[in-house]
């Protein structure tokens, strides 16, 4: 009688499990729900799998200590407790319920990841691409101040430079790799290899089609990370912010006098024309707001012909900025900047030959905006800023900067600092 | 008999002068078209009235014509001529149809210098600013050239050694450029790639002037030796027997070629085709006589770069089309058709 055979053991286990699940249901009404770690009176999938793991650990202790170590249990949970979601590439992706080890295929996703995971987000990142350091050193430094440990997160190369190291990712043993949809073609082979190694790959998108995919991406990230509530909250906030623009635009008659807008990536400074945006980043936003993007038709991410710019005579010029320490006259924006310096840099662009004849320059309709706003979860601030610049009367009450600050306060572990959205002169002076 | 020879000679010379006239007119037409064509819809009348009386027209047109179109069009003419002459002379002294400043690694070295400035240097010298890229490109062309000279000196300036040294340097500098591209941030990478594509966008009156001055200093220096260079085509031994110091001549030409190439390339980036093909076309038309070969190469180089500039503007009228791509796409089909039509072997 003391020696049960395997079948009996299994049946017993299933029985206990059922009892446990039923007891969980019953307990919902009471004040403290067992397993409800964040006390929100809900058992999320993550919490449930935690509860089952700890239950198994408790039940089987003493019988065979060897197979009860947490890693083993995690492995078991990973295999048996999974959910399936549809990612932004339209693929069905099956991930463990309890995702604890994540590789960010692009480290620029730090903002979205931190927004979902909160203060202790670094615990879950076991590896990431090198983009944050090479592309947005300002945000990297800002996080580094509060989270020195990000320096030790292993980098796995970069998809952009074709140095993505699939082997390194496999050796990190992640539960999930999050990849940018923009790089799907480049990552084809890596994706196959990772999936063959049993590591799920989730494609999300904040770049290719930001107006459509931002909410979807944050929601699917929330699902796989077991942060559905947080994701829904962020998505709701995002939706409200977008509605501030859309509701006004839709209620008005179609604007016939369309404004011509030129946007440039201000990385080269005034001396050399930087690339402009035809179909990516700011381009679709301008079109959405009924403006004319004069760079439409220019090869994607190529510089405009200066002569064409003068001939088109745009009504508004927007210089997209970032923090480029190596270039002393580039458009400086971001966490570690100040208004005086940023405005001086923006004014520098007006000294280009022929620009004094442009309507935008004559009317001081020149603005700076942080490039990162266009490809992050807070891109609502970008479309708000554009809307306010294009239709100052309609959007007089809209304050994109304050909304961006609010997003930081509500969801991001770091504080809003520096200059992100900039007019060439103070609004009153105009 | 004697006068019959004389007549034949005169007829040939006349034919060669006619080529000069044809191509000079072609270059002039290409230049004027280059000024007239652009992404803004200025009428031809507007353009030329602005050139003649700059202050009568509106400032916008003025800027377009005087700050954008004229320097770029002139730059195309001068850079085309410089690169073609450089290519012609490299082909002559090395007696190799594949030789060009590109083959000698000079362009690649300039590219490396530029990339180095973009990745590590830019902004470290406060006043150098954006010209640091050009300065660096120039310095590295010279560095590459001095290695060739040094090795050539040790090995008696033999042409095989020069070509092999040049080609090795070409690969070395290409590898170094790739290394820098690998190390660069995305913005730097963009800048390097744009530079390597070649572009007239950074042309200004000062760059035009610098290239022009260098061109009119260097070309007479080469022209003085035109007989010696013609003799060199007979082969080193025969040239020596005619009393020519072949090693010295070769080094002198290499110095001139380097200065010409470096000054052109450092402002517009690497443009591969112009140093190679126009000299061949010139050779097909006039033969090896340097008195005609040098100027005709120059004219053809200018013509090609002007045409490429026009082509680029037509293909891509809103953005900037990389000139290096346009040159090869326009020039190569033309060159191949010429090769097919050619009657005799002249290489």
Contact criterion met (CB below 8 Å) for A159 and A106 = yes
Residues of A within 8 A of B185 (CB-CB) are 134-135, 326
DSSP string computed for A218-250: HHHHHHHHT-HHHHHHHHHHHHHHHHHHHHHHH
DSSP class of residue A155 equals: B
Q: Look up residue B49 and give its two tokens.
A: 């009235």
The Cα–Cα gap between B24 and B18 comes to: 10
Please state the length of chain B. 347
- The closest alpha carbon to A13, from A52, A67, A49, belongs to A52
pTM value?
0.81
| Residue A189 burial by Cβ neighbours in a 10 Å radius (0-12, 13-18, 19+) | exposed
The Cα–Cα gap between B192 and B180 comes to: 9
The Cα–Cα gap between A327 and A3 comes to: 76
SS3 A316: strand
DSSP string computed for A363-423: TT-EEEEEGGGGGSGGGHHHHHHHHHHH-TTTTTT--HHHHHHHHHHHH-SS---SBSEEE
Residues of A within 8 A of B42 (CB-CB) are 311
Question: Are B67 and A160 in contact (CB < 8 Å)?
Answer: no
Contact criterion met (CB below 8 Å) for B153 and B250 = no
How distant is the Cα of B40 from the closest Cα of chain A, in angstroms?
Answer: 5
How far from A419 is each of A316, A370, B170, CA to CA, in Å?
20, 8, 45
Question: Are B41 and A328 in contact (CB < 8 Å)?
Answer: no
- CATH class as words, domain B1-341: mainly alpha
Count of other CB atoms within 10 angstroms of residue B161: 15
Question: Are B319 and A303 in contact (CB < 8 Å)?
Answer: yes
Q: Which residue from B123, B186, B201 is facing A328, i.e. has the nearest CB? A: B123
Question: Are A135 and B316 in contact (CB < 8 Å)?
Answer: no
How far from A67 is each of A55, A72, A175, CA to CA, in Å?
14, 6, 20
pLDDT in tens, B137-166: 888 888 888 888 888 778 776 778 888 888
Question: Are B320 and A295 in contact (CB < 8 Å)?
Answer: no
The DSSP element (H or E) to which B207 belongs, if any, is: helix B205-224
- The closest alpha carbon to B105, from B177, B193, B189, B5, belongs to B177
How distant is the Cα of A166 from the closest Cα of chain B, in angstroms?
Answer: 18
Please state the length of chain A. 430
Q: Look up residue B294 and give its two tokens.
A: 């040098």
Handedness of CA A116, A118, A124, A128 (dihedral sign): positive
Domain residue limits, chain B: 1-341
pLDDT in tens, B199-249: 888 788 888 999 999 999 999 999 888 888 888 888 878 888 888 888 888
Residue-wise pLDDT tens for chain A (430 aa)?
455 677 777 777 777 777 666 666 555 544 566 677 777 777 777 777 777 767 766 665 555 545 556 666 666 666 678 889 999 999 999 998 888 899 999 999 999 999 999 999 999 999 999 889 888 999 999 999 999 999 999 999 888 877 889 999 999 999 999 999 999 988 899 999 999 988 999 999 999 889 999 999 999 999 999 899 999 999 999 999 999 999 888 766 565 568 999 999 998 888 888 889 888 889 999 988 989 999 888 877 788 888 889 888 999 999 999 998 877 889 999 999 999 999 999 999 999 988 988 999 999 999 999 999 999 999 999 999 999 999 998 899 999 999 999 999 999 999 999 999 999 987 654 4
Question: Are A311 and B320 in contact (CB < 8 Å)?
Answer: no
């Amino acid at each position: 009688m003391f020696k049960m055979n395997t079948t009996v053991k299994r049946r017993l286990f299933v029985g206990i499990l059922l009892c446990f699940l039923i007891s969980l249901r019953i307990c919902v009404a009471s004040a403290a729900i067992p397993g409800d770690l964040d006390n929100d009176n809900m058992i999320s999938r993550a919490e449930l799998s935690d509860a089952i793991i700890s239950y198994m650990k408790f039940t089987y202790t003493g019988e065979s200590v060897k197979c009860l170590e947490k890693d083993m249990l995690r492995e078991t949970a990973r295999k048996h407790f999974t959910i399936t979601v549809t990612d932004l590439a339209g693929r069905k992706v099956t991930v463990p319920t309890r995702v604890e080890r994540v590789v960010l295929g692009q480290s620029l996703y730090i903002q979205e990841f931190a927004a979902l995971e909160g203060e202790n987000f670094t615990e879950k990142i076991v590896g990431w691409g090198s983009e944050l350091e090479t592309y947005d050193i300002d945000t990297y430094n800002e996080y580094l101040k509060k989270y020195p440990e990000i320096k030790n997160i292993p980098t796995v190369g970069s998809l952009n430079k074709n140095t993505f190291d699939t082997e390194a990712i496999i050796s990190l043993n992640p539960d999930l790799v999050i990849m940018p949809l923009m790089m799907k073609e480049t990552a084809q082979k890596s994706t196959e290899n990772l999936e063959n190694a049993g590591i799920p790959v989730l494609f999300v998108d904040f770049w290719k089609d930001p107006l459509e995919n931002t909410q979807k991406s944050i929601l699917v990230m929330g699902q796989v990370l077991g942060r559905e509530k947080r994701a829904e909250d962020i998505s709701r906030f995002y939706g409200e912010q977008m509605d501030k623009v859309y509701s006004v635009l839709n209620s008005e008659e179609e604007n016939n006098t369309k404004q011509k807008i030129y946007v440039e990536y201000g990385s080269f400074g005034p001396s050399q024309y930087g690339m402009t945006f035809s179909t990516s980043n700011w381009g679709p936003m301008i079109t959405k707001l009924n403006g004319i993007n004069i760079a439409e038709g220019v090869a994607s991410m190529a510089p405009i012909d200066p002569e064409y710019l003068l001939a088109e005579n745009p009504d508004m010029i927007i210089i997209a900025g970032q923090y480029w320490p190596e270039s002393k006259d580039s458009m400086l924006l971001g966490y570690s900047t100040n208004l005086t310096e940023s405005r001086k840099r923006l004014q520098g662009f007006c000294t280009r030959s022929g620009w004094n004849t442009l309507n935008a320059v004559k009317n001081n309709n020149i603005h700076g905006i942080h490039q990162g706003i266009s490809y992050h979860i807070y891109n609502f601030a970008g479309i708000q800023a554009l809307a306010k610049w294009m239709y100052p009367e309609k959007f007089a009450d809209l304050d994109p900067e304050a909304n961006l600050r609010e997003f930081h306060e509500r969801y991001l572990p770091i504080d809003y600092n520096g200059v992100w959205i900039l007019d060439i002169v103070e609004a009153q002076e105009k | 008999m004697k006068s019959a020879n004389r007549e034949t000679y005169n007829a040939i010379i006349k034919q060669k002068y006619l080529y000069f006239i044809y191509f000079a007119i072609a270059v002039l037409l290409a230049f004027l078209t280059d000024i007239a064509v652009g992404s803004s819809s200025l009428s031809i009348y507007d353009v030329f009235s602005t050139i003649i009386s700059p202050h009568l027209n509106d400032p916008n047109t003025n800027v377009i014509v005087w700050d954008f179109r004229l320097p770029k069009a002139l730059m195309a003419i001068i850079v085309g001529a410089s690169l073609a002459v450089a290519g012609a002379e490299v082909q002559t002294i090395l007696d190799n149809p594949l030789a060009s400043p590109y083959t000698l690694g000079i362009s690649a070295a300039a590219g490396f210098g530029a990339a180095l400035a973009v990745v590590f240097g830019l902004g470290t010298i406060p006043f150098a600013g954006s010209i640091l890229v050009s300065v660096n490109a120039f310095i590295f062309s010279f560095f590459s050239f001095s290695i060739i000279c040094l090795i050539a000196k040790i090995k008696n300036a033999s042409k095989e050694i020069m070509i092999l040294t040049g080609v090795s340097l070409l690969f070395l500098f290409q590898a170094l450029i790739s290394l820098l591209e690998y190390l660069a941030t995305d913005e730097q990478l963009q800048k390097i790639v744009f530079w390597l594509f070649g572009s007239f966008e950074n042309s200004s009156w000062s760059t035009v002037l610098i290239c022009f001055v260098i061109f009119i200093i260097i070309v007479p220096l080469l022209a003085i030796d035109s007989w010696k260079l013609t003799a060199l085509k007979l082969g080193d031994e025969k040239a020596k027997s005619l009393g020519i110091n072949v090693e010295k001549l070769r080094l002198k030409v290499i110095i001139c070629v380097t200065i010409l190439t470096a000054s052109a390339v450092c402002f517009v980036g690497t443009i591969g085709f112009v140093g190679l093909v126009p000299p061949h076309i010139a050779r097909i038309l006039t033969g090896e006589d340097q008195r005609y070969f040098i100027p005709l190469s120059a004219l053809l180089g200018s013509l090609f770069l002007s045409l490429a500039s026009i082509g680029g503007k037509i293909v891509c009228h809103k953005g900037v089309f990389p000139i290096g791509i346009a040159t090869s796409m326009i020039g190569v089909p033309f060159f191949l058709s010429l090769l097919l039509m050619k009657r005799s072997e002249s290489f």
